[in-house]
Homo-oligomer: A and B are copies of this chain.
Amino acid sequence: MADKIYRVNITDLTTSIEDVPADWAGLGGRGLTSTIIAAEVEPECHPLGGKNKLVIAPGMLSGTVAANSGRISIGGKSPLTGTIKEANAGGTAAQMLAKLGCKAIVIEGMPKGEGWYNLHITDDSITINEESELIGKGNFAIVDTVTSRMDEKHGIISIGPAGEMKMLSANISIKDPDSHVRSCGRGGLGAVMGSKHIKFISIAPTDAKVEIADQEAFTAANRAFTKALVDNPISQALGQYGSNVLVNIINESGGLPTRNFTSGQFDGHEKISGETMYDTIVERKGKPKHNCHKGCVIQCSQIYNDLNGNYKTSGFEYESIWAMGADCCVDDLDHIAEADHLMDDIGIDSIETSVAMGVAMEGGVLEFGDGAEVCRILKEEVATGSALGRIIGCGAGSVGRAFGVTRVPVVKNQAIPAYDPRSIKGIGITYATSTQGADHTMGYTIATEILGVGGTVDPLSKEGQVELSRNLQIATAAIDSTGMCLFIAFAALDDEHCLPALIDMLNARFGISLTADDVTSLGMSILKTEHAFNEAAGFTNVDDRLPEFFSEEPLAPHNVVWDFTGKEIDTFWDF
């Protein structure tokens, strides 16, 4: 059965299921979402108006048994950045959609009235249903209610109150195998879903399997691929401590942005570190290892329980812990976990929102370190849509503008995450040049600069950084198209068997014969498609810059500033 495009027009309340155009057949994940957005969305359009579209696509290998291939990509024009946007996450949706033969869901138009809807997807239908019960509810209530309406095997893609209120950093949640949620976090695509009045999408379970052109070759390649992942020491560290293993490492490097980016080290780092988190989880009988989707062999997620041993949060990532922790000077993991849980329920990006809190602290809205007040603001202001909640829910840039703060760590209005570009310079190139605003996952130079994976580059030197970021951004665009988790990159960079095995799987899946060069070309082509969209939307090289304060305020302990010139940054696009 050939894959299909599922299309929903929310203006007319019509749906259709279409053949996949030949040009799109070889695409998946980010490659497909960005291609569809570039083809069908006017770059100048209002991101929350009827001309924007929301595109949801599983990766090329999603639905197969390939290890770590369960990422789902969601794309659109971002209301936060104004750029093209793709955000991906784990959970069950990608694998389920792929098995149903759904290559992508395209949601277009603008509802005529005030009513809200849900969508339901099966192997041969997509239906639009009125929804009222769940309006105003958080993501956990959605999962509970939809599960009791249907059963726990259904997949769910949903937005919380933040998305309904069209807050610019609203995210989209994906139910995971344990009925918790994962987030397509950045860029405010939840507001786009909210603008179309879609509260959730339910996905019918199926026994169907994804077709594999050469099953034997696929199985062999997956075995080699899995071995590369499992053997990799960084994979192993991620499995034990989660991504939060990075707190101590990045603090040691002097690149842990602290107190709204005024220092590179945090006194309280031990209290929020991956090691402390691990001990806490074990002590409270949580799970240090947990997979966000079936087939993940790294298992960087975890189940973090509260003091009483009850579930509090999962997918408790380094970047979220850094943001609410070091950046806001909150050194209590329980406050951070509570905030993480609240943000998951409200449906709002934890990086953007926490960095926004840090800017609000600098603006005098609350005190640095006041984790209890952070949680109160999330619960009583952001979740309810008070004026303060809306300022924070619209991100760090919004808080800076409202409270007259000029130390606002954003690029293209999106918050800079957990690695200070003054002392880890390569990641600054990624923040500056990314087609989607500041985002470490777009070209994770930390792998090489700090973890020594795939070579060595001195994080304090400009030497080689543009090339490093470029190579990683190209590779990432391709990986984001396969449905693979980005954490395969450590093995891919360091184990000669990993990338060939991945390519073998793609070839075996589709009966094609891609080479490594083809994969690079795909990555380049995706970046160029995205860049062209942004240029047509009015972006120029002037937007590829870090905020002024990075060049003016030396960062302790290395006392270094961001010293790339605009001209140097612009060489990124020389390919």
Interface residues of A (CB under 8 A from B): 43-46, 48-51, 165-168, 191, 194-195, 386-388, 390-391, 394, 398, 401-404, 406, 536-540, 542-543, 545, 547-549, 552, 566
Known: A46-B548, A48-B406, A390-B391. A401 touches B168 (CB 8 A): yes
Inter-chain contacts of A43 with B (CB < 8 A) = 542
Contact A44 B387 (CB under 8 A): no
Question: When chains A and B are docked, how far (Å) is the Cα of A549 from the Cα of B165?
Answer: 20
Q: A191 touches which one: B45, B48, B404 (CB < 8 A)?
A: B404
The 6 closest A-B pairs by CB, nearest first: A166-B404, A538-B542, A387-B388, A387-B387, A390-B402, A46-B548
A536 touches B542 (CB 8 A): yes
Cα A566 to Cα B44 with chains together (Å)? 11
Other-chain residue from B49, B165, B548 in contact with A406 (beta carbon distance below 8 A): B49
Closest Cβ–Cβ distance, residue A189 to chain B (whole Å) = 14
B394 touches A49 (CB 8 A): no
> Is B536's CB under 8 angstroms from A46's CB?
no
Asked if A195 and B49 make an inter-chain contact with CB atoms under 8 angstroms apart, the answer reads: no
A388 contacts which chain B residues (CB < 8 A)? 387
Q: Give chain B residues whose Cβ lies under 8 Å from the Cβ of A552.
A: 50
A539 to chain B, nearest CB (A): 8
With a cutoff of 8 Å between Cβ atoms, the chain B residues found around residue A50 in the complex are 552
Q: Contact between A195 and B404 (Cβ–Cβ < 8 Å)? A: yes
User: In the complex, A46 Cα to B398 Cα: how many Å?
Assistant: 15
Contact call A398/B402, Cβ cutoff below 8 A:
yes
Q: What would 17 more interface pairs be, CB under 8 Å, given A49-B549, A168-B401, A194-B404?
A: A46-B547, A49-B406, A50-B552, A51-B548, A165-B404, A166-B404, A167-B404, A387-B390, A387-B402, A390-B402, A390-B403, A536-B542, A537-B542, A538-B539, A538-B540, A538-B543, A540-B540
Q: How far is the CB of A84 from chain B (nearest CB, A)?
A: 14
A510: shortest Cβ distance to chain B, in Å? 38
Residues of B within 8 A of A548 (CB): 45-46, 49, 51
Least Cβ–Cβ distance between A44 and chain B, in angstroms: 6
Cβ–Cβ < 8 Å partners of A195 in chain B? 404, 406
Q: Majority SS of interface residues in chain A?
A: loop
Closest to A43 in B: B542
Closest to A390 in B: B402
A-B contact pairs, 29 of them (CB 8 A): A44-B542, A44-B545, A44-B566, A46-B406, A46-B547, A48-B406, A49-B548, A51-B548, A165-B404, A166-B404, A168-B401, A191-B404, A194-B404, A195-B406, A386-B387, A387-B391, A387-B402, A390-B391, A390-B402, A390-B403, A391-B391, A391-B402, A394-B401, A394-B402, A398-B398, A537-B542, A538-B540, A538-B542, A538-B543
User: Which B residues are CB-close (under 8 A) to A191?
Assistant: 404
A195 to B406, CA, bound (A): 10
Best-buried of A388, A390, A536, A552 by chain B (most CB within 10 Å): A390
Query: Residues of B contacting A168 with CB < 8 Å?
Result: 401
State how many angstroms separate the Cβ of A68 from the closest Cβ of chain B.
36
Q: Closest approach, in angstroms, between the C-beta of A193 and any C-beta of chain B?
A: 12
With both chains docked as a complex, state the minimum distance between the C-beta of A386 and any C-beta of chain B, in angstroms: 7
Q: Please measure, in the bound complex, the distance between the C-alpha atom of A223 and the C-alpha atom of B552, giving whole angstroms.
A: 55
* Interface core residue of A46, A398, A404, A542 (most chain B CB under 10 Å): A404
CA of A552 to CA of B391, assembled, Å: 29
Residues of B within 8 A of A387 (CB): 386-388, 390-391, 402
A547-B48 Cα distance, complex, nearest whole Å: 12
Docked pose: A386 CA to B194 CA in angstroms:
27
Q: Using Cβ atoms and an 8 Å threshold, which residues of chain B touch A404?
A: 48, 165-167, 191, 194-195
Contacts of A401 in B (CB 8 A): 168, 394, 398
Least distance between A136 CB and chain B CB atoms (Å)? 14
Q: Which residue of B lies closest to A381 (CB)?
A: B387
Expressed in whole angstroms, the Cα–Cα distance for A164 and B318 within the complex equals 38
Complex contacts, A538 vs chain B, CB 8 Å: 539-540, 542-543
Q: Give complex CA distance A166, B402 in Å.
A: 8
> Across the two chains, which residue of chain B brings its CB closest to A403?
B390
How far in angstroms is the closest Cβ of chain B from A458? 28
A500 to chain B, nearest CB (A): 42
How many angstroms from the CA of A45 to the CA of B404 in the assembled complex?
15
| Set of chain B residues within 8 Å of A536, measured between Cβ atoms | 542
A441 vs B471: C-alpha distance in the bound complex, in angstroms?
Answer: 50
Enumerate chain B residues within 8 angstroms of A386, measured Cβ to Cβ.
Answer: 387
* Bound complex: CA A48 to CA B538 (Å): 23
- Minimum Cβ distance to chain B for residue A108 (Å): 15
| Chain B minimum-CB-distance residue to A397 | B401
Q: Look across to chain B and name the residue whose beta carbon is closest to the beta carbon of A168.
A: B401
| Nearest Cβ on chain B to A457's Cβ, whole angstroms | 27
State A95–B536 Cα separation when bound (angstroms). Answer: 47
Which residues of chain B are near A403, meaning CB under 8 Å? 390
Q: Kindly report which residue of chain B lies nearest to residue A191, judged by CB atoms.
A: B404
Whole-angstrom distance between the Cβ of A40 and the nearest chain B Cβ: 16
